[in-house]
Amino acid sequence: MRNKVILVVLDGLNYQVAHNCMGYLNGLIETHQATLYKVQAQLPSMSRPLYECILTGKRPVESGIVNNEVVRLSHHSSVFSLAKDAGLITAAAAFHWMSELYNRAPYNAIRDRVTNDETLNIQHGCFYHSDHYPDEHLFLDAEYLRRQYNPNFLLIHPMNIDDTGHKFGLDSSQYRNSARYADIYLSRFVPQWIDQGYQIIVTSDHGMNNDRSHGGALAEEREVPMFVIGSQFAHRHVVENIEPPKQTEICGLVCDLLGIEHHDKASCQMLLAGSK
Ligand SMILES: [Zn+2]
């Protein structure tokens, strides 16, 4: 099984808000082209620790990336390093902390903002360093990378939902509307990605609370969506009531989809078509 994979991490998106506000993605579910799972974020429910969790399969207390101030390269193999070592092409349009975890730390905007270096784990990158960098522009950066470099694995990581949550809180029209905008941006690109055979995962690192923050163990901070879209997914959990995937299994799932053999990552193959 060798598929191209797009992983979209919508930073700071609470499960219930995704469920209620993302009409395009829910339309895909109603036509059996997508499935939504509720995933529990690992702890602490913070960004950099959970980027590392999603991309390496390691819990923060295992990876050592236990808060946002740990600025260093990851100590673990990641989707990026495993894909690169398998001869695949990797790309990311993402917050600069991704560059710090998998390419070079600390981030140097002049050197790293636009990255093209096949010796790095993220070979092609468009990185940003302002939380209000527009999601709309970020999706265009990602689409540029996709068309220009034809990556096997593309990470897309916009920040505006999290940024809005820090300004207005979980229970705010502004936070909900930022999720609605992300849904619209996705609707501009996902139809082409589906037509071209991509397997697409849309998830988040952590949720948000009404104190305009996150980091702890409240349900609203931990519960995040995981939409899976594409022909390689079974789209059957409602009928068969299978276990929801774990955040630590996303890395292995992406590796399985990419056809990377002999990785040691936990996966959730029950989500895939053809699994028992
Ligand atoms: Zn945040």
| Spacing, Cα 165 to ligand 1 middle (Å) | 7
**Cβ atoms of residues 55 and 78 within 8 Å:** yes
Q: Where are the domains of the chain?
A: 5-154+161-271
Which whole-number Å values give the CA distances from 210 to 168, 192, 222, in the listed order? 8, 36, 13
| Spacing, Cα 98 to ligand 1 middle (Å) | 15
| Spacing, Cα 171 to ligand 1 middle (Å) | 15
| Spacing, Cα 263 to ligand 1 middle (Å) | 31
**pLDDT at residue 240, as a whole number:** 60
**Cβ atoms of residues 224 and 39 within 8 Å:** yes
| Spacing, Cα 153 to ligand 1 middle (Å) | 25
CA distance 205 to 227: 13
| Spacing, Cα 201 to ligand 1 middle (Å) | 21
**Cβ atoms of residues 229 and 7 within 8 Å:** no
Enter the CATH code of domain 5-154+161-271. Answer: 3.40.720.10
Q: Give per-residue pLDDT as tens, 110-125.
A: 999 999 999 999 999 9
| Spacing, Cα 213 to ligand 1 middle (Å) | 6
| Spacing, Cα 72 to ligand 1 middle (Å) | 19
| Spacing, Cα 206 to ligand 1 middle (Å) | 8
| Spacing, Cα 207 to ligand 1 middle (Å) | 8
CA distance 18 to 66: 26
Partner residues linked to 34 by β-bridges: 229
Helix (H, G, I), strand (E, B) or coil at 90: strand
Q: What is the pTM of this model?
A: 0.97
| Spacing, Cα 162 to ligand 1 middle (Å) | 5
* pLDDT tens digit at each of 276 positions of the chain: 799 999 999 999 999 999 999 999 999 999 999 999 999 999 999 999 999 999 999 999 999 999 999 999 999 999 999 999 999 999 999 999 999 999 999 999 999 999 999 999 999 999 999 999 999 999 999 999 999 999 999 999 999 999 999 999 999 999 999 999 999 999 999 999 999 999 999 999 999 999 999 999 999 999 999 999 999 999 875 556 678 899 999 999 999 999 999 899 999 988 999 875
